[in-house]
């Protein structure tokens, strides 16, 4: 695949007002994506745009709009809305393209642009490369005639529409009455919709991270800082805590004692419940190479498989679509339930866990430990250049480690997609052996 100049593993991302996250690049993205998705028929073409609560959204959104309208695309603006909501609304409003302005769980200084096709799925690598090629054309190419310029409207009820979609994913015969729920919205895109959906389903809601000011998104709150939620759960004696990230496509949960439950355990809870009710498709779950071996053993014990992909939710989704799976995700809490949505949705995943709590009549502490995680150790080694993973000594160290673990563990060694780092992860039943194996591979990488 050609080297990508703008797009990374999840859209275009960077520090606001520095290349590539400038108004000029956003304008070029609007022009290029508009040209690519504007087909040749005579109808009006539509793009929907959502954003999180970052200050720089005020700069990026108008630049995108200028580019899109200048090539004849009509635009509908949602304002602050979760990433999965933008994906859903792209499809439900029959738009040609959906755009989310967000840098997810990063701090406020960063921002990003994610694109969704008319089917609500993230764009393919090929489509992103076509957009990049068009971005480097002159700004005068392919502009619309004065009468054909796009029109822009704000959709005032976008949040209310998403709340109704989310509520409809919760089993109709259940409600949340009697449950006290702490919801941490990370001062991000779900700051209105998440507390509203939980309240309307009957819960007593205690919200935090619901007062964004443009610079406090993900700041000591949300899924990257679950301690704020856990503290609140203990303080208010809540039944469960739910923490979303800045664009609400991932979640972390804590039980009534404040103990944090990660994405692997949440996948086990949901997959187990779906399997029991006959609703699990594909005969198992799709996760990445980083998911704990304990999850794999837990699923195998239920007669289910765990299929592993490269790190990144787009690879998880791709495998789910190929194999007909409806549950997938990452240890980080990025959970995809394809019966309901085309990308990770923290709020919908949380509702499925709440449904299991109610149906089993068990506290979260009894559900949160579906399996004992196998001891896992991850080390990052910075390298100056070259390809350390292709070195004979590194390959030998990995092979030696695998033979020592002898089937009772796993080793994953990969280059980071965003930094000059080699990530070395090993897991196994014997923590001392895991430590020894990682140390040996780290030494081999450093020696290259």
Of the candidates 56, 70, 102, 104, the residue annotated as catalytic is 104
Task: Tell me how far apart the alpha carbons of residues 233 and 241 are, in angstroms, rounded to a whole number.
Answer: 6
Q: Burial, 400: exposed, middle or buried (Cβ in 10 Å; 0-12, 13-18, 19+)?
A: middle
Q: Which of 164, 58, 140 is nearest to 101 (CA)?
A: 58
Q: What are the two backbone dihedrals, phi and then psi, of residue 129, each rounded to the nearest 5 degrees?
A: -65, -35
Helix axis angle for 392-405 and 431-447, nearest 10°, is: 170
- Bridge partners (DSSP) of residue 156 are none
Sign of CA dihedral 152, 157, 160, 161: negative
HSE, side-chain direction, 13 A CA sphere, residue 175: 8
Q: What is the DSSP letter of 416?
A: -
Query: Which residue's structure tokens are 């779950």?
Result: 285
Alpha-carbon span 306 to 291, nearest angstrom: 10
* Whole-angstrom distance, CA of residue 254 vs CA of residue 252: 7
Q: β-strand 251-254 against 260-261: which pairing, if any?
A: antiparallel
| Cα–Cα distance for residue pair 209/189, rounded to 1 Å | 10
At 67, is the secondary structure helix, strand, or coil?
helix
The 3 state secondary structure assigned to 136-166 is CCCCCCCCCCHHHCCCEEECCCHHHHHHHHH
Q: Which two tokens stand for residue 394?
A: 């590194």
Catalytic-residue membership of 56: no
Q: Residues with catalytic annotation? A: 104
């Amino acid at each position: 695949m050609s080297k990508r100049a703008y797009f990374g593993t999840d859209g275009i991302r960077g520090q606001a007002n520095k290349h590539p996250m400038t108004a000029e690049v956003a304008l070029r993205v609007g022009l290029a994506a508009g040209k690519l998705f504007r087909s040749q028929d005579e109808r009006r073409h539509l793009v929907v745009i959502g954003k999180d609560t970052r200050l720089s959204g005020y700069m990026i959104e108008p630049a995108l709009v200028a580019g899109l309208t200048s090539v004849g695309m009509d635009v509908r603006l949602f304002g602050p809305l979760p990433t999965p909501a933008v994906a859903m609304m792209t499809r439900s409003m029959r738009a040609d393209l959906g755009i989310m302005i967000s840098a997810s769980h990063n701090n406020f200084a960063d921002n990003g642009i994610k694109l969704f096709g008319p089917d609500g799925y993230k764009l393919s690598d090929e489509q992103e490369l076509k957009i990049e090629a068009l971005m480097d054309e002159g700004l005068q190419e392919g502009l619309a005639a004065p009468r054909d310029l796009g029109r822009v409207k704000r959709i005032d009820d976008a949040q209310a529409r998403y709340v109704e979609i989310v509520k409809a994913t919760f089993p109709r015969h259940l409600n949340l009455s009697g449950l006290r729920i702490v919801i941490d919205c990370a001062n991000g895109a779900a700051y209105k919709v998440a507390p509203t959906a939980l309240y309307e389903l009957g819960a007593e809601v205690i919200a935090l991270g619901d007062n964004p000011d443009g610079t406090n998104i993900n700041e000591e709150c949300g899924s990257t800082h679950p301690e704020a939620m856990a503290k609140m759960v203990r303080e208010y004696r809540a039944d469960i805590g739910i923490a979303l990230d800045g664009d609400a496509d991932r979640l972390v949960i804590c039980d009534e004692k404040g103990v944090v439950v990660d994405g692997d355990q949440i996948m086990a809870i949901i997959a187990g419940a779906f399997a029991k009710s006959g609703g699990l498709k594909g005969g198992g779950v799709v996760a990445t190479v980083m998911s704990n071996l304990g999850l794999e053993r837990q699923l195998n014990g239920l007669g289910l498989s765990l299929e592993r992909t490269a790190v990144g939710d787009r690879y998880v989704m791709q495998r789910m679509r190929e194999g007909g799976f409806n549950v997938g995700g990452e240890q980080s809490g990025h959970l995809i339930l394809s019966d309901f949505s085309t990308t990770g949705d923290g709020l919908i995943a949380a509702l499925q866990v709440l449904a299991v709590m109610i149906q089993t009549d068990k506290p979260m502490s009894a559900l949160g430990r579906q399996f004992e995680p196998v001891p896992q150790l991850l080390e990052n080694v910075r390298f100056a250049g070259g390809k350390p993973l292709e070195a004979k000594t590194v390959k030998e160290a990995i092979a030696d480690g695998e033979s020592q673990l002898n089937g009772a563990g796993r080793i994953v060694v990969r280059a980071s997609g965003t930094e000059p780092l080699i990530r070395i992860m090993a897991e196994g039943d014997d923590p001392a052996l895991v430590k020894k194996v990682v140390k040996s591979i780290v030494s081999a990488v450093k020696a290259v």
